[in-house]
Amino acid sequence: MFLTIHRTFKEAFKNFTRNGWLSIATVSILTMSLFVISVFFVVTLAVDNVLNGVQEKVNVSIYFKPDVSEEKIDEVKSALEKFEEIKSVDYISKEKALEDFKRNNATEPVILASLDEIGENPLLASLIVKAYDVNKYQLISEYVEKAEFSSDISRVNYGKNKDIIDKLNGFIAVTRKVGIGLGSLFTLISLLVTFNAIRITIYTHKSEIEIMRLVGASNMFIRLPFIFEGVLYGILSGMISMLILFTSIKLIAIYAPSISLVSSLMSIYLGNFWILFAGQVALGSLLGIIGSFIAMRKYLKV
């Protein structure tokens, strides 16, 4: 068995090198297909990471009127904590809000001077509400605006990051659709090119196949070189695609370092290197094998 595999793989490698430009064209198309699929995979993961980061910062901020007592705010806090959709409710006193404001604007002397001129704390006490699911914030906001304690509320600050999240979700949806569309297109092209490459190989070895039939060679023995040839196309394409992907991310990092997604792209590439590599090699090999089987079924009646 091992000898058979060794001989047929050796024959497949000979076919691969003999085909010359045809092999180069096949590998190029397969590489392009794998590259397109991997790009959209990495970009989608990067945008998902950014989206998760934004979602962590999203909250519903409930600001109370100046005359509302801490006891009343504590009652509202306790009422909100009973909802299973709510992850946490944090109380920010007027004093704490003022401290945070001064710390965040420590490098803005004009703002701090204006604050001193007011003479009193203009900030309001608030509750910061975080939900388990970002899609629940709208529901929480609507409940707060209609609750019994709504008359004690000055304003509800919701959705300052909502637009960003909606845009990122839209971008992810578009990215996935485009990725699936282009990936499917290039996959079909890859199958057609591989099919033609294997078909031409079979045609050029027509006399050898006839001789092998006459001497009693098994169908599997005749098929294996062409299957291995398809695997060679896939493995080489996967390796080249990974190299091109790394080079592309590196160039983006050099020439467009200001893009926030760039650092995520490289970390995702390195963090998922073996998954990406194994996936590309496996997918490339699968496409090569499928193309080989299609060609053999149509042109190799064994």
Distance CA 54, CA 57 (A): 5
How does pLDDT run across 194-220, given as a tens digit for each residue? 677 667 766 666 666 666 666 666 666
Return the pLDDT at 6. Answer: 59
Question: How much is the CA Rg of the chain, to the nearest whole Å?
Answer: 31
CB 184 within 8 A of CB 263: no
In angstroms, the CA 165 to CA 96 distance is 28
Helix (H) or strand (E) holding 10: helix 2-18
90 and 127 in contact (C-beta within 8 Å)?
Answer: yes
Locate 274 and state its tokens. Answer: 């073996």
Higher model confidence: residue 179 or residue 233? Answer: 233
Mind listing the pLDDT tens digit for each residue in 150-199? 888 888 876 565 676 677 667 777 777 776 777 777 777 767 776 776 67
CATH code that applies to domain 59-159: 3.30.70.3040
The yes-or-no verdict on residue 258 having pLDDT over 70 is no
Task: Render pLDDT for 9-33 as a digit per residue (tens, 0 to 9).
Answer: 566 667 667 666 777 877 887 788 7
Q: Is the pLDDT of residue 94 over 80?
A: yes
Among the listed residues 33, 35, 24, the one whose alpha carbon sits nearest the alpha carbon of residue 233: 24
Q: What residues does each domain of the chain span?
A: 2-54+165-299, 59-159
Does residue 1 carry a pLDDT above 60? no
Q: 178 is written with which tokens?
A: 């485009």
Q: Rounded mean pLDDT of 52-78?
A: 82
Residue 81 has pLDDT above 80, yes or no: yes
pLDDT confidence of residue 48: 75
Residue 290 burial class via C-beta count within 10 angstroms: exposed 0-12, middle 13-18, buried 19 and up: middle
Would you state the pLDDT for residue 261? 62
The reported pLDDT for the residue numbered 202 is: 67
Q: Express as a percent the part of the chain with pLDDT over 90.
A: 0
Q: What is the pTM of this model?
A: 0.65
Contact 241, 280 (CB under 8 A): yes
For CA atoms 59, 64, 66, 67, the dihedral sign is negative
Confidence of residue 256 (pLDDT cuts 50, 70, 90): low
In the structure encoding, which two tokens stand for residue 50, read together? Answer: 């950014």
Q: Taking a C-beta distance cutoff of 8 angstroms, is the pair 193, 25 a contact? A: yes
Sign of the torsion angle spanned by Cα atoms 65, 71, 72, 77 = positive
